Amino acid sequence: MDQPRTDEDQQLVARTQEGDASAFDQLVVKYTPRLYGLVYNMTSNHEDTNDLLQDIFAKAYKAIRGFRGKSSFYTWIHSIAVNMTLNFLKKRGRRFQLSLDDVDASIQNDKEFLEATASTSPVREADLSELQKRLNEAMMKLSDEHRAVVTMFHIQGMPHAEISKILRVSEGTVRSRLFYANRQLQNYLDEFRKNPVT
Amino acid sequence: MDEFNDNQITKLLRLKRYEQPPPGYFDNFLHEFHRRQRDELLRQPLWRICVDRARDFAFSFNLSTLTSYPVAVTAVLVCAAVISLKIYQTPQPATVAVKDQQVLVVPASAEPEWTLASPAATRVFNTRSLRNMTESAQTHRSGTPRYVLDSVPVSYETTFKF
């Protein structure tokens, strides 16, 4: 997933800092889908995601006057989103609210999805919806920090360097968390494949 | 049976980017954002709104750059506080009440008087004109020490009787 043009963001940020609220509206429109995917895959709940997104943009609007451009707006807004979501998850605790088990029907017609579930794959033998559900469950078994890294790297397609900036950890830490999370997901899905739930 | 490998997990996870909110969600998101902003503004007390306005006003003058030098700002404030304290604590010039120097003037008539009435050989000073009530009040505040013998204690010896 490519990053948006930073110079355009800088102009919108500068206009917002000068008091042009419509410029911030453009930033909201631009970043809502991207941040929705990030927050939704970390919380697995649409209502929580909606509330968090509103809070994230409200906080960003209040804090944008202090934004000095040391990082890109993309990194800055993602940092706010990840930190607020992690704080929310800590408050929410480990209660399991899985609401994304209903896979979007359009996925099953998607080219990438069909390729991923093509022949010679163990996925073929499993019910796809069930497999997706199991994957979501496996995601929720990860710690919040590991799930954040998996979401940003695998789902959002961010590079390691960008993730390390957002989380303010080293790239080695990002790679380590990814490796550990992949092992956990792999074990969980293998267990499901060996003992499928009918 | 094959096991899941990293590549397959990656492909499965990438599919999750297609999970989308209900249709129309993104269209309504901005309206919802504006509505919440207005609601929050209406809930704020008046003083909070005033503080926010003042802060915005300060930011409009780019005063926020000062916050990037907190140590310098703190140092200036501390110096100003110290200087102001020094000014307020400067001692005022001492105001000393100047009194007329009362010079003890012994009148010429104040000769020691020897009297036979005295049971003993006692020298009696004539203190009549040396002090009066007003002077006595100033005596203790005069610059030069002044010793005034008001009276001579009488002798407790028995009087001689011839």
Question: pLDDT tens, B94-130?
Answer: 566 655 555 555 555 555 555 565 555 555 555 555 5
Is B5 a residue whose pLDDT tops 90?
no
Residue boundaries of the structural domains of chain B: 6-88, 96-162
Which positions ≥6 away from B52 have C-beta within 8 Å? B44
Residues A75 and A124 in one domain: no
| A100 → closest Cβ in B19, B22, B59 | B19
Residues A11 and A74 in one domain: yes
pLDDT band at B75 (very low <50, low <70, confident <90, very high): confident
Cβ–Cβ < 8 Å for A16, A27: yes
Amino acid A5: pLDDT: 62
Residue A26 lies in a domain: yes
Residue A98 lies in a domain: no
Residues A85 and A15 in one domain: yes
Which positions ≥6 away from A165 have C-beta within 8 Å? A71, A75, A79
Choose the mutation target among A180, A186, A194 for the interface with B, i.e. most B CBs under 10 Å: A186
CA B162 to chain centre: 79
Q: Which of residues 29-58 of B touch A (CB under 8 A)?
A: 29-30, 32-33, 36-37, 40, 56
CA distances, A123 to each of A128, A132, B11, B79, B119 (Å): 7, 10, 11, 72, 142
Tell me what the mean pLDDT of segment B62-67 comes to.
56
Task: Kindly report, residue by residue over A98-117, the tens digit of the pLDDT.
Answer: 554 444 444 555 555 556 55
The reply to whether residue B1 touches residue A193, judged by beta carbons under 8 angstroms, is: yes
Is B1 a residue whose pLDDT tops 80?
no
Across all residues in chain B, what is the average pLDDT? 69
Residue A138 lies in a domain: yes
Single out the residue in A92, A120, A141 at which a domain terminates: A92
Residue B87 distance to chain A (closest CA, Å)? 38
Amino acid A76: pLDDT: 95
Tell me what the mean pLDDT of segment B34-60 comes to.
80
The reply to whether residue A113 touches residue B18, judged by beta carbons under 8 angstroms, is: yes
Residues A49 and A86 in one domain: yes
Report the domain count for chain A.
2
**CATH number of A172's domain:** 1.10.10.10
| A25 → closest Cβ in B14, B30, B64 | B30
Rounded percentage of chain B residues whose pLDDT exceeds 70: 45
CB contacts of A49 in chain B (<8 Å) are 21
| B14 → closest Cβ in A125, A155, A186 | A155
Point out the residues of chain A with pLDDT beneath 70: 1-5, 94-128, 196-198
Is B35 a residue whose pLDDT tops 60?
yes
Residues A120 and A88 in one domain: no
Tokens of A128: 């796809």
